């Protein structure tokens, strides 16, 4: 006996992109809910969307490619928000723009916890180390590097600005990770103050 699922209305000609979006959204929900990549199968994603599992292969060759697409989209969204925050405050100088990025990063984690977990909270299937340079995490790191380098008055990141960027990012991540792990509503004002204090300490060096 096959497992029942809610059948999706078939796509019309030219609506394949809409189905792809539904598949990505369903995979993101299931990944966030389970917290484990290996717990999410193409069959489960198909059932969530209301299609047969083979229909997914029209858009993704396997689970690994689907998870990679979901991950890429999450990182792309965060990078875009950070760059927008930088651009809005750029008239106030690079330090003000970097502060806006730090604040936006913290708010992103608090306001979009499911998406944040997709990037940093999943128990993932270990991939070959050789694939590391292709991971979208490096685009996020480069965003911090560029911003810190600008504050240092440099055209490109130096060893010092790279280290400061890593210290700033990992520390901000720690602030929001602790706040999200506690069984209380996140204190946004306190998080903002900690982010400001952290930025002042790092950039004072």
Quickly tell me which residue has 């193409």 as its tokens.
42
- The answer to the question of residue 7 being in a domain is no
Domain co-membership, 52 together with 76: no
Residue pLDDT, tens place only, 179-196:
999 999 999 999 999 999
- Binned at pLDDT 50, 70 and 90, residue 6 comes out as low
What is residue 36's three-state secondary structure?
strand
- The answer to the question of residue 162 being in a domain is yes
Domain co-membership, 160 together with 105: yes
pTM for the full predicted model: 0.87
- The answer to the question of residue 56 being in a domain is yes
- Binned at pLDDT 50, 70 and 90, residue 17 comes out as confident
Domain co-membership, 188 together with 89: yes
Domain co-membership, 42 together with 87: no
What is residue 123's three-state secondary structure?
strand
29-53 burial code (b ≥16 CB/10 A, e <16): bbbbeeeebeebebebbbbbbebee
Of 28, 60, 92, the position where a domain reaches its end is 60
Domain co-membership, 108 together with 31: no
- The answer to the question of residue 10 being in a domain is no
């Amino acid at each position: 006996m096959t497992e029942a699922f809610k059948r999706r209305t078939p796509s019309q000609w030219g609506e394949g992109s809409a189905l792809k979006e539904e598949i990505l959204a369903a995979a993101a929900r299931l990944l966030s809910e389970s917290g484990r990549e290996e717990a999410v199968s193409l069959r489960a994603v198909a059932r969530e969307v209301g299609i047969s599992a083979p229909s997914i292969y029209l858009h993704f060759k396997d689970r690994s490619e689907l998870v990679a697409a979901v991950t890429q989209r999450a990182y792309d969204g965060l990078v875009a928000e950070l760059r927008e925050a930088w651009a809005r405050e750029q008239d106030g100088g690079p330090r003000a723009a970097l502060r806006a990025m730090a604040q936006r990063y913290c708010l992103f984690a608090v306001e979009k916890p499911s998406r944040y977990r997709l990037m940093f909270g999943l128990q993932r299937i270990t991939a070959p180390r050789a694939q590391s340079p292709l991971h979208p995490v490096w685009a996020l790191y480069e965003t911090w590097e560029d911003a810190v380098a600008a504050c240092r008055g440099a055209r490109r990141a130096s060893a010092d600005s790279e280290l400061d960027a890593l210290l700033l990012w990992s520390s901000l991540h720690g602030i929001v990770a602790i706040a999200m792990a506690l069984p209380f509503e996140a204190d946004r004002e306190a998080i903002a103050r900690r982010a400001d204090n952290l930025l002042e300490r790092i950039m004072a060096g």
